[in-house]
Structure 1
Amino acid sequence: MASAGPPSPAVTSAGLPSADLPSPGLPSVCAPARRRLPGPPSPARSRRARGGGAIPGLRYRPAVPADPAKAAEVDRRLEAWAERMDLFPREWRGQFARFGLGRAIVLAHPGAAGPEHLTAAGKLLLAEHLVDNLYCEVDEGKGGSPRGLGGRLLMAQSALDPLHSTPEVENRWRHGVRGDGPLRSYHFALRDYAALATPSQTDRLVHDLARLHLGYLGEAAWAETDHMPRIWEYLVMRQFNNFRPCLAIVDAVDGWELPEAVYARPEVQRITALAGNASTIVNDLYSFTKEMSNDPDHLNLPMVIAANERCGLKAAYLEAVEIHNRIMEAFEEESAALSATSPLIERYATALAAWVAGNHEWHATNTDRYSLPDYW
């Protein structure tokens, strides 16, 4: 496949004045956990839904438009797979349709090798959402809770990284995995992905899903102790509770492999992390109105900034946009510099940039799920 070239500077960039990243100060090693700081003004007074569209001033790149027929085919395959696997009750099917999973996958992977590769990516994303909603998220109302989450996520990781024991114990483990929807979805989604990917690509994904689970646990621990993290602590958590597993598969979905020795290089790991962090803050920004309506105490970057800096939500939201823009700028600049050193890295960086652009487009246009605060 011919390379599309390295990521170029965003065609839509920040209209906000430049500001330095907040520096809340590093704690000592034994810094005590702090309870929630005095909060910002009431969200109900400071936030009115503005509707859809791109966030004003947000730095992003336009996505390759999603082919509606291709997105519909991915949706059809995923819905058939979910029904065959009995992954969720029939009454949730309307939510599945409104989510627009097929379009999200097609937007994120414009260079996909084919429908099987897109479907494999969709199965993984669907499985990740099931684990998040049924195990972790309280405000989704599907059974998630921070209480006992460690045990559930340990079993979830075993669905990806299988038990090796006596035949009798392994049989009991298989029975347990197949008896639970989220575990079943993880296990069979990874199996189908592994059929298209190399062993090293599959192992890469398994490790990045462990990172994701670690982020879930950090957020859950803060919820249980009513801890308001410092801004830098929150961003550390979001580097783990992150879209990185989606980025880990971009080369496999496109039908090739970035060699492990290249992928493991610190500078390649850095652009991967920057792409994931920018995309995850995009999620915080676009889901802000929904999350604050469902649970005003739900942690997101604007809320954490408001609590730490004792400012209003509007000022905090605009500061979160600026943090995103600086991370996005670093991703673009460092990706371009690295791409000039290697055609393989150029191809990988292009796939990362396409995923980041598609993720933004899906959030900005998914008006059934997201709306913006009226801050402009």
Structure 2
Amino acid sequence: MQKHPPAADPAPPVPARAALLARLRGGPGGPGTSTLRIRPALPPPLPAPAADPAPAPAAVPAPAAPGRSRGNPAVPELYCPPPQRDDPALAEAVEDRLVAWAEETGIYAGRLDEVRALSLGRYTMLTYAHVEDPDRLLAPAKCTLAQWATDDYYCDDESAGAVPLQIATHLSQALAAIDPAHLPARYAPLLEQAMRADPVLVALRSGTEHLSRYATRSQLTRYRQEMAALFCGYTAEAGWRVSGRTPPVWEFLAVRQDNSFLPTMVMLDPAGGYELPVEAYADPRVRGAVLKAASASVIVNDLYSMHREDESAAVNYNLPALIEAEEGCSRAEAVRRSAELHDELVHAFEEESALLAAAGFPPLIRFLADVWAWLGGNLEWHRTTARYHPAGRAPARDGSPEHGSTQGPEHGPTHGGTPA
């Protein structure tokens, strides 16, 4: 891949999922690496799942070319794997079911065309490349749309009812929709009444219930914990807006680790029909690698959404703008430095994943490979969606501009600072 600024010699291509999977199975190699073949204290392998078993490395198709970020001329080329697949029919099947569900819950009432314009069905198809069943894909799609609705209704869009001084209260109620609160009998009916009256709470609870069809109890607990962290990130960004404070870059990056795509990424194994045990996910080395991937993915969002946010009347925070303000550089230089941070994180995830795979623990190997493929799908969606490309010019899937495409609504769902 090309570096920033362009190097004289081309860098090696980004490995596809199949190549990474092979590397993860083998661990690091070469002179001086024998001491790196550590054995993480991970649990013994789980019984092979009956549904949707992990494919053998040879069965995983490898895209021919590395992923490119040429869709938006303002975004440099990023180090990231290519998308694992592109199945428009599957994306449309998920999209149709998701829009129908949104109508049932009541979120974005009268704005379902904007929900469809998000192309969340395509996003889910691209990022969960190991899942073929539309209903399994629909579970993370519902949960993701409910997350974005939470940000819109409670944090960003005052026309939809967002009240800055009530954000923490609303998010606490949102958490109760995901992780049910157990009140004394006298007050439980009042809580239930509130849960049924708010479309966002209906969507959060319904999405979690759909996920529970495929997730174990420990996987649901993991999802709830990452959602709680996401809500902490929402609250921190709301504090900046209310106070008018511009955070330093280090603080912004720390908060964005919470306000990232991690709640979406942790649904990879339940959607795929296997489980990464809690002992493995909680291992500091595993969690560190996954958090780096999550942070890299949200930098992609910052890079592709910056023009949209610059044109918005709302106060938004993105990495290039903060680097520009803190370091006194041009926006183009701030974008380049943001891209370098993204690449650093992706390289770190790749290297740390190879070390972790040396333990030979199949669920961990599969999860890390699925995160790698998720990164490629996330970039491809940002690169190709009309949502993030000025003048209504969405790129074609080969990276060239596609004339005649239409841009999504200026202020549709999730138009604020949250991912996507």
TM score, norm. by length of structure 2: 0.75
The more displaced of 248-257 and 223-232 is 223-232
Same amino acid, percent of matched pairs: 34
Which secondary structure state, in structure 2, belongs to the residue aligned with residue 362 of structure 1? Answer: helix
Q: CA deviation at 1:52?
A: 3.7
2-side partners of 1:54 and 1:167: how far apart?
57
1:310 aligns with 2:328: yes
Higher relative contact order (CA 8 A, sep 6+): 1
Question: Per-residue deviation at 1:103?
Answer: 0.4
Partner of 1:242: 260
**Aligned mate of 2:118, from 76, 99, 106:** 99
Kindly provide the amino acid, as one letter, of the partner of residue 117 in structure 1.
R
Counting only pairs closer than 5 Å after superposition, residues 348-363 of structure 1 correspond to structure 2 as 348-363=367-382
Code of the residue aligned with 2:257 in structure 1: it is: Q
Map 1:54-73 to 2 at 5 A: 55-73=75-93
Contact 2:153 2:162 in 1 (8 A): yes
Equivalent-residue separation in structure 2 for 1:333 and 1:350 (angstroms): 12
CA contact (8 A) 2:93 2:121 kept: yes
2:380 corresponds to 1:346: no
Q: What's the counterpart of residue 319 of structure 2?
A: 301
Distance 2:370 2:208 in 1: 21
Q: Write out aligned runs for 1:120-199 (5 A).
A: 120-138=139-157, 142-199=160-217
Distance in 1 (CA, whole Å) between partners of 2:163 and 2:260 is 19
Alpha-carbon contact 1:51-1:371 (below 8 Å) kept: no
Report the equivalent of 1:42. none
Q: Is the 8 A contact 1:111 1:254 kept in 2?
A: yes
Change (3 A) 1:163 1:109: same
- Extract unaligned runs of 5+ from structure 2: 1-53, 392-420
TM-aligned CA distance change 1:283 to 1:3, over 3 Å: farther
Question: 2:304, 2:388 within 8 Å by CA — same for their partners in 1?
Answer: no
Give the secondary structure class of the aligned counterpart of 2:222. helix
One-letter code aligned to 1:242: S
Instruction: Give matches, 1:235-314, under 5 Å.
Output: 235-295=253-313, 297-314=315-332
Shift of the 93–13 alpha-carbon distance from structure 1 to 2, 3 Å rule, reads closer
Is 1:75 the counterpart of 2:128 in the alignment?
no
User: Structure 1 residues 3 and 133 mapped into 2: Cα distance closer, same or farther (>3 Å)?
Assistant: farther
1:165 and 1:219, CA in 2 relative to 1: closer, same or farther beyond 3 A?
same
**Aligned twin of 1:327:** 345
2:135 paired residue among 103, 110, 116:
116
What is the aligned length?
Answer: 334
Q: Structure 2: how far apart are the matches of 1:252 and 1:205?
A: 10
The RMSD of aligned alpha carbons is 2.4
> 1 CA distance for matches of 2:331 and 2:159?
26
| Partners of 2:320 and 2:334 within 8 A in 1 | yes
**Amino acid of the residue matched to residue 98 of structure 2?**
L
1:55 and 1:248, CA in 2 relative to 1: closer, same or farther beyond 3 A? Answer: same
Q: CA offset at residue 290 of structure 1?
A: 0.4
